[in-house]
Amino acid sequence: MYRIQELAELAGVSARALRHYEELGLLKPQRDAQNGYRVYTADDVDRLQQVLFYRELGMPLEEIGRLTRAGEYQAGEALRTHLEGLKARRARLDTLIHTVEKTILHRQGEIDMADREKFEGFKKRLVEDNELRWGKEARARYGEQAVEDSKARVLGMSEAQHARLVELEGEIAGLLQAGVKSGDAKGETGRRLCMAHKEWLMFFWKEYNAQAHLALGQMYVDDPRFKAHYEAIAPGGAAFLRDALAAHLLDEEK
């Protein structure tokens, strides 16, 4: 049994963070009957460990709450997910370290390094991040081959293509924020957002299909993880993107 300061010290987090997790329903400490102080049990310690694992993997608190909610949470499965995520992170760091080492040798004139090699670590990180976040859903929706083809397309990007992909992500975020502020998904900002998102999508898709793009927009609203991504950019962003796609995509295909 731990008091709040004791658990905070044990876990290396602040008491304020523990209170915040409690407010979000991630932790549910008991209260001492005599003085009302928070009391954390062994189950609370295990739950906090899981929360911090997920945070280390970059998962939003909203998604952590969904995964750890009563009736959905399975410790064994969660630990396997953590392990997969940590292995992916280790592989990603190994690739980046290798790229940095080669870059140093290249700058010293000891080896030649092709331009494509300079971006391998970044592209591999993108692939692994996508796999960790969306891999399961993508396979269920599009199939194994489509996911593997998408990975190959990303890993095969040129320096210019990679730079454009990063640039597009910034454009989409800016257009989404401006669009939500305007509230007009059918307007010019909505159209530009739609086209930017289509261009971004084609870095991952082999062939374009407007109906599939529309379905993707709906999934951004329906799936909590996708929704959280766009809501973090602009509150109401997922719904605005869906509405913009619905307003402009089919017209573009005519």
Burial class (CB in 10 A: 0-12, 13-18, 19+), 55: middle
Q: How many C-beta atoms surround the C-beta of residue 147 within 10 A? A: 20
C-alpha dist (Å) from residue 211 to 148, 193, 218, 244: 21, 17, 11, 14
Q: In tens digits, what is the pLDDT along the chain, a chain of 254 residues?
A: 889 999 999 888 899 999 999 998 889 899 988 888 899 998 889 889 888 887 876 677 877 777 766 455 555 666 666 677 677 667 667 766 766 776 777 677 776 655 555 555 555 666 666 665 556 666 666 666 666 666 666 666 676 777 788 888 889 999 999 999 999 999 999 999 999 999 988 888 888 889 889 988 998 898 777 787 788 888 899 999 999 999 998 665 44
What lies within 8 Å, CB to CB, of 244 at 6+ separation is 179, 185, 186, 190, 191, 193, 194
Q: Mean pLDDT in the chain?
A: 78
List, in order of start, the domains of the chain with CATH numbers: 4-59 (1.10.1660.10), 74-156 (no CATH), 158-254 (1.10.490.50)
